Amino acid sequence: MRVTRGMMRRRVVLLLFCLLGAIGGLIGRLAYIQVLQAPWLQGRAHRLWSRQIPLQPVRGSILDAEGHVLVYTATAPSVIVIPAQVKDKEKTARQLADVLRMPYDKVLALVRKRTLMVYVSPGGRRIRDEQLAAIRRLNLPGVYITEEGKRAYPYGALAAQVLGVTGADNQGLTGVEKQYDRQLRGQPGSITFFANAKGERMPGVGEDYVPPVDGEDVELTINAAIQQFVEREIERAVAVYHPDHVTAIVEDPQTGAILAMANYPSFNPADWQAYPQETYNRNLAIWQTFEPGSTFKVITLSAALQEGKVNLNDRFYDPGYYEVAGRRIRCWKAGGHGSQSFLNVVENSCNPGFIALGERLGKTALFQYIKAFGFGQKTGIDLPGEGNGILFPLNRVGPLELATTSFGQGVSVTPIQQVMAIGAVANGGLLMKPHVVQAFLDHDTGRVVGRVQPTVVRRVISEQTAAEVRSALESVVAQGSGGNAYLDGYRVAGKTGTAQVAKNGRYEPNHYIVSFIGMAPADHPRLVAYVAVDHPRPKDNVVFGGTIAAPIVGNILRDSLTYLGVPKRAGGIPKKVRWGDVVMVQVPDFVGMTIGDAQRTAIESGAQLRTQVLGTGKYVVAQSPQSGTKVPAGSVIRLYLGNTPVVDNGVRKQ
Amino acid sequence: MYAKVRQSPDWVILWATLVLLSIGVVMVHSASSVLSQQKFGDAFYYAKRQVLWAALGVGLMWWMSRVDYHRLRAWAPYLAGASFLLLTVVLVPGVGVNRNGSQAWLGVGPFGIQPSEFAKLALVVFLAHYLADAGERVQSLTRGFLPPLMMALTAVGLIMLEPDLGQSVVIVGATVILLFAAGARVGHLLGLAGTGAVAFAVLVAMAPYRMARITSFLNPWQDPLGSGYQVIQSLYALGSGGLLGLGLGHSRQKYLYLPEPQTDFVYAILGEELGFLGAAAVLTLFAVLVWRGFRTAALAPDEFGTLLAAGITGILAVQVLVNVGVVTGSIPATGVTLPFLSYGGSSLTLMLTGVGILLNISRQARGVG
């Protein structure tokens, strides 16, 4: 090809079009970036420029049913660091670690963190006054003090396990604090501003202020006064009986509202980290499951009455045992209660009588009622960590299981399940859902913004049956095993329970959970109260629901009913046992028994005989008064000990 | 030799240049104000100097537009010799000044000159002179094609020792444009492209990280704080600008997010403040300049004029394409200034000098047609 002016010119034009095409391509690329991709790029760029300073809301208070403040948030100083402003990281970290008693490495890592601001956690959160003074004295650049919310408890440890605790970031960890964390927490606010690449504020760009929204106040159904009565009674019981655990619940049967709930051991929520985890993390009243013992007989009784399987005036003969599937199940009373009405069966808490009721119902009907009363499933109380309890699966219930279930053995239930079940009897047969919170209030104005309505779970028995059961239970208190809960004029109805505790499939000797569940007034119950004492160790050796738990419930009911201004009633069943009209019982034959057997027999006699031990040795060689003598219930029997077992006629036992 | 037809210069070239220059001074100030306030306590530090350089450059442009471009043929060997000397001297430790990892400046402090900028223009003058004389010889591989190519590659070799990849790319681009315009065989040019591709493949095979670095522009978000940082910040600027821009002076990326916003990335700040419309308008002005530059080449009275105009316009076009290509993340990062807009004395004065030469050629154009 010859090089000519024409060819050069053509090539120049060709070059021009190529280059113009390339420039056109760049304009297209620009349009793609600046128009199509722009929203996405802008979002990322905003995140790059904006710096957010969080503003913490004030956590809501927790009030009792009458508006007393049980928990509120007080502010406390905390240490924050702005790493960009700390020049000498090592020195700052060392001095902070010293004052805040934190590991040096951990503080150094925080101080070196590439963030806008960092809390010196955990040592620098909510520090004490002397630490605050020390930090101020150090005057370290980039180290600041900010006010942070700290939970304060005007009533001290009151209702600690219901209230629960909060963690370092003000988040609810247990109890109501956890359950209603969403309402209590509130909405954090923020100040957002644009910064340059060094973190300094960009001029000429406004800042965005979102105020924090304080959390709502939560009003409990817990009544501080009643809670105090309950905790006082628990303290007394602990001082006298040195038990492992105590649990108490007071409920309003008409609404399912829990008025008091307490356990021993408890803890101080302001210093909860100092307690073992199982103390602050478990609320025994809703978590612990155990054999209820005789209190469960109320369920068998209610079912039998509702199904028309029994008339309380029918007679029943208790020979001291009941034969089921070829095995003899003994009554707790040696020798039995003899001939009695079914009302007496209830009053005496006679096991064979209840086995008979269970047989008349059959397993399907009995278990249907047990489930209808709410056992075997969570009650749905508004607290975290509730237990289920355990029932026999129906296909594995034989005659023996039916028999033991009907008097409260072989089932496992929680305290709150028992309270709600008996509450259904108190509430004319309607099972309620329990709750500890009744309202939510605006933190600033106190205006009610939400209310918890009472929830009926189901009707379990008819109103008439419920009244009949209450009347029988009133009779238990007035004339039977629950006498120690009797309050003149308040018509207390209730049932005792004494359950032996099984461990690894065997009943532990001398480990009982004694309980009492009561309600008052029996004609129109205002309160249901429950107390369970786990492993009491009384001085006089008698471990029985009627002697230990019943008086506690009596005291709680008396003080609470008085506090609530419930008028005394007329027309109750008068207390049968009066001074000079004592129950006479026959003294059993202890001679030849080991001392342990003798004491157990004395307890199981049902006459609440106390024993006094004289001499040393393993065996009872003589007793006073002699066997067969009639003595008032609760009398002291002297047991003389020796090392050789003897029988009455002086012949050695082999 | 030639009948001197004294006529008016191409006013479009002059006005487009002056408009771009004015936009450049404003944008250098806007883009650099935060950085220069931070560094020197004077928001106008870069702007004042840019105005001085612009004034000097416009003076040189006016002067060159009045000097008959044919006189450059006599100067051409000396200009080429001087540029090789300067490119060598700048590499001597202690003589050349190292800035941002590149030993590319001679002189003291901010008033240093960049030998590579001078070499770029000098080489174009010399190659135009050489190829205008070569005539048909340009189609011979050994006697016409390789000698000017070897000379250009020698300059590129010296520049890569600084190192300065951007200037090398521009010189190679302008040389190829000159060779093509001068009538070199397409087969030779394709051979050159093939050789380049093989050399590149060998370099990549020797060190695979080079490939990774080059392809990283395809997805800068793989390494947003490392190799992708500048491109991402540049895209943030362009994206924030959107269609209409944040308004003059309201860039946020200039708040120390985009490094050196007054030089290679001034176009990103322009796109952020003036939006797609402003950025596209600037590219359109450059397109007009390229059009008028090649028009001047086509209408030049002789081969030397054609090649000189094509070469100068080629430098301008390649720099615009490379700079905007980098700013928009369209090609791998290469440091090249945007003509008339980026801050920098050598770049600005020499580019205006080149426009002055272009104006002189246009004054001697033959009648349109």
Domain boundaries, chain B: 11-363
| Pair (A31, A100) in one structural domain | no
> DSSP for A250-261?
EEETTTTEEEEE
In single-letter form, the type of residue at position B32 comes to S
Contacts of A206 in chain B (CB under 8 A): none
Residues A256 and A375 in one domain: yes
Q: Is the pLDDT of residue B221 over 60?
A: yes
H helices then E strands: how many in chain B?
12, 2
pLDDT on residue A245? 93
Q: Are residues A474 and A621 in the same domain?
A: no
User: Quick check: pTM over 0.80?
Assistant: no
Inter-chain residue contact A42 with B242, CB threshold 8 Å: yes
Higher pLDDT, B269 or A569: B269
Same domain, yes or no, for A558 and A600? no
Do residues A530 and A600 share a domain? no
Strand A217-220, strand A62-63: pairing:
parallel
pLDDT, tens digit, 9 for 90 and up, residues A496-527? 888 888 777 777 777 889 999 999 898 899 99
Q: Is residue A93 part of a domain?
A: yes
Structure tokens at A563: 């506090």
Is residue A179 in a domain?
no
DSSP B292-343: HHHHHHHH-SSHHHHHHHHHHHHHHHHHHHHHHHHHTTSS-----PPTTTS-
Same domain, A116 and A13: no
CA-based nearest distance B241→chain A, Å: 7
Q: What is the CATH number of the domain that holds A106?
A: 3.90.1310.10
Worst-scoring range by mean pLDDT, A332-341, B94-103, B289-298, B314-323? B94-103
Residues of the domain holding A146: 69-154
CA-nearest of B325, B363, B319, B360 to B342 is B319
Residue A187 lies in a domain: no
How many angstroms away from the CA of B237 is the closest CA of chain A?
A: 8
Residue B214 pLDDT exceeds 80: no
Which residue in A247, A301, A261, A243 sits closest to A515, CA to CA? A247
From A128, A154, A180, the end of a domain falls on A154
Phi then psi for residue A552, to 5 deg, are -65, -45
How many domains, in total, are found in chain A? 4
> For residue B161, which amino acid is it?
L
- Cβ distance B241 to A34 less than 8 Å, yes or no, reads yes
| Distance to chain B for A47, nearest Cα, Å | 11
Q: Is residue A515 part of a domain?
A: yes
- ipTM, interface predicted TM-score of the complex: 0.93
Closest partner residue to B324 among A1, A11, A26, by Cβ?
Answer: A26
Q: Nearest CA of chain A to the CA of B135: how many Å?
A: 7
- For residue A533, the model assigns a pLDDT of 93
Based on the fold, state whether residues A607 and A528 are members of the same structural domain.
no
Q: Which residues of A touch B180 (CB under 8 A)?
A: 11, 15
All residues of chain A having their beta carbon less than 8 Å from the beta carbon of residue B225 are: none
Q: Is the domain of A489 the same as that of A605?
A: no
Which of the residues A5, A8, A47, A48 would you substitute to probe the B interface, choosing the one with the greatest number of B C-beta atoms within 10 Å? A8
Residues A26 and A134 reside in one and the same domain: no
Cβ distance B271 to A34 less than 8 Å, yes or no, reads yes
A603/A554 same-domain check: no
Q: CB distance A30–B280 less than 8 Å?
A: yes
| CB contacts, 8 Å: B241 with chain A | 34, 38
Q: What mean pLDDT comes out for the span A559-587?
A: 72
Is residue A429, in this structure, part of any structural domain at all? yes
Q: How confident is the model at residue B1 (pLDDT cuts 50, 70, 90)?
A: very low
Nearest by CB: B181 against A2, A12, A20: A12
Q: What is the rounded distance in angstroms from the CA atom of residue A93 to the CA atom of residue B28?
A: 43
From residue A86, give the alpha-carbon distance in Å to each of A101, A110, A135, B223: 20, 11, 15, 28
pLDDT of res. B231: 86
| pLDDT for residue A391 is more than 90 | no
Q: Does one domain contain both A253 and A286?
A: yes
Is residue A181 in some structural domain?
Answer: no
> What's A430's domain CATH number?
3.40.710.10
pLDDT higher than 70, residue B48: yes
Residue A498 near residue A293, CB atoms below 8 Å: yes
Asked which of A134, A154, A174 is the last residue of a domain, the reply is A154
Q: Is residue A191 part of a domain?
A: no
Residue A648 has pLDDT above 70, yes or no: no
Cβ-defined contact of A33 to B235 (cutoff 8 Å) = yes
Q: Can you tell me the mean pLDDT for A63-82?
A: 88
Q: Assess whether A244 and A331 both reside in one domain.
A: yes
According to DSSP, the β-strands at B102-105 and B97-99 are: antiparallel
In this prediction, residue A168 carries a pLDDT of: 80
- For B121-159, b/e burial (b = at least 16 CB within 10 A) is bbbbbbbbbbbbebeebbbeeeebbebbbebbbebbebb
The CATH number of whichever domain residue A638 belongs to comes to 3.30.10.20
Residue in B with minimal Cα distance to A12 = B181
Using a CB–CB cut-off of 8 Å, the residues of A that contact B are: 1-3, 5, 7-9, 11-13, 15-16, 19-20, 22-24, 26-27, 29-31, 33-35, 37-38, 40-42, 44-45, 48-49, 194-198, 202, 204-205
In a domain? residue A130: yes
